[in-house]
Amino acid sequence: MFENATKIVRFRTLAFSKYPAKGLNMDDLKGKILAIDDNEDILFALKLLLKPHVEKITTLSTPNRVLELLKVEQYDVILLDMNFTKDASSGQEGFDWLGKILSLDPKAIVVFMTAYGDAEKAVKAIKSGATDFILKPWQNEKLLATLSSALRLGKSVKEADQLRSTQKALTDITNEPFKDFLGESDDMKEVFATIRKVSQTDANILILGENGTGKELVARAIYRNSHRCNEAFISVDMGSIAETLFESELFGHVKGAFTDAKTDKPGRFEIAAGGTLFLDEIGNLSIPMQSKLLTVIERREVTRVGANKPVKTDVRLICATNNNLHDMVSQGRFRQDLLYRINTVEIHLPPLRGRIGDIAILAVHYMNIYNKKYKKKITKISQAAIKKLNAYNWPGNVRELQHALERAVIMCESATLEPDDFLLSPASKKSSDVEIDTYNLDEIERKIIEKVLKQSQGNITKAAGDLGLTRTSLYRRMEKHGL
């Protein structure tokens, strides 16, 4: 009788191999399968059924070798019988082997095979860590569908593990307190101290500074040192968003909200939920866009375009601009109430020309980076080259210095970077009325401050702004130099 049943199973297997179930994607079955059952006819039927579709199927008639096999081979799904010859009815032996397999590989995808009468035990098996179960005698369509689901689950688990590993690796690489953000000048030490103070809070931060001074680096440093560092960091260039798309990009939209809204789309506030939202170039927003942004910040909720129900939002907001927002407020070009909302703490980044002592540090840092990138063996930057870099005005700030070092490293044919390796714009050299005839950084700083104070006719606020300093920092430097 059992022999006849086996023949039927084999016939159905062959028939199904030729005519797969309607709607089942056979590509989902690609993978390595390990089947363990003490019934050789069951194993033979599984081989006939699965061999045309899976990458590889391995069979074992006893579970005794399974752990040894799993140490040298990785399987996408393990088909495990619940009862073996030592214990043909209780299923305990199957549970024992399930435990051993999961101890060796906690993420193993195990599907139990059991008789109809063992359905209750199969449910118990799911609670014990099995992924699914198949009843014997099986229906081929059901078995393949179950196996397909198990393979997809295993693939998803692997992809999630790879994503977590990649994210951890990236986090480890970038998780230095001030990655690529260097400086030993007093102003930069003040910036670093402020970052440390505000990082562990949820205070809204406004970063002010010229283009190229590293405003996004400050934002990322705050993010990496915050309690939200394991959540999203979403950066938005506000200057690049068209006014007509502002609400859709920031707040999202629902399907059918406008002509091209073919699907629901979350906005940047929703995507950044739980994490940090960095709004760069916020000074470029029009007054209507400022009003909409203010409403979201005040209410802590967004309403997608075309929707009626608001969604609560929890983000840490960091904004940046190279504009003087305080002047814009007095000119009626920026809302004062929005400024109050976004600048619980302000961080002022000095221009590179105001932190001369850091130029050499940054130059060596970028030299080493591009040495490695372009496989060069440049060992140093000459003092004459450093003098040339210090005498330059750096209108593009740190970003321009970085590009200058990259070009110099590429073009240099010796072990030392010399002045001629740096092609700097003559129009951006410092005015000749400040004679840079010394390597003494204090003396250089004093001369520059004297010049700017003279040009501003003693207006401390204007002089501080021109130097990229706070009034407090300028007073401190004036006292230092007896000015």
Instruction: Give per-residue pLDDT as tens, 285-325.
Output: 999 999 999 999 999 999 999 888 888 989 999 999 999 99
Contact status, residue 447 vs residue 434, Cβ threshold 8 Å: yes
Q: How far apart are CA 234 and CA 64, in angstroms?
A: 51
% of the chain residues with pLDDT over 90: 36
- Name the CATH superfamily housing domain 440-483: Homeodomain-like (1.10.10.60)
Give the pLDDT confidence score for residue 193 in this predicted structure: 92
pTM: 0.58
Q: Which CATH number fits domain 186-350: 3.30.2090.10, 3.40.50.300, 3.40.50.150, 3.40.50.1000?
A: 3.40.50.300
Q: How large is the average pLDDT for residues 474-481?
A: 81
**Per-domain residue ranges of the chain:** 2-161, 186-350, 353-430, 440-483
- In this prediction, residue 418 carries a pLDDT of 93
Q: Higher pLDDT residue, 346 or 453?
A: 346
Q: Which two tokens stand for residue 363?
A: 């130059």
Instruction: Confirm if 59 and 46 have CB atoms less than 8 A apart.
Output: yes
Residue 69 has pLDDT above 50, yes or no: yes
**pLDDT score of 408 more than 80:** yes
Q: What was the pLDDT predicted at 20?
A: 47
Task: Return the C-alpha torsion angle 245, 247, 251, 252, nearest 10.
Answer: -50
Lowest mean pLDDT among 117-121, 171-175, 183-187, 415-419: 171-175
Cα–Cα distance for residue pair 246/292, rounded to 1 Å: 9
Nearest to 74 by CA among 95, 99, 56: 56
Mean pLDDT throughout 372-388? 92
Beta strands in 46-130 (DSSP E): 56-60, 77-81, 110-115
pLDDT in tens, 418-438: 999 998 876 555 544 555 566
The class (CATH top level) of 2-161 is alpha beta
What is the pLDDT, as a whole number, of residue 227? 92
User: Which of 117-126, 169-178, 320-329 shows the lowest per-residue confidence on average (mean pLDDT)?
Assistant: 169-178
Question: Does the structural domain 353-430 have CATH classification 1.20.1050.10?
Answer: no
User: Which long-range contacts does 58-65 make (Cβ < 8 Å, 24+ apart)?
Assistant: 58/32, 58/33, 58/34, 59/34, 59/35, 60/34, 60/35, 60/36, 61/36, 61/37, 62/36, 62/38, 63/36, 63/93, 63/97
Compute the distance between CA of residue 317 and CA of residue 390 in angstroms, rounded to an integer.
35
Contact 125, 95 (CB under 8 A): yes
pLDDT at 389 over 90: yes
Q: What is the pLDDT of residue 215?
A: 93
Q: Answer yes or no: is pLDDT of 6 > 50.
A: no
The pLDDT of residue 298: 93
Mean of all residue pLDDT scores within the chain: 82
Report residue 178's pLDDT band, with 50, 70 and 90 as the boundaries.
low
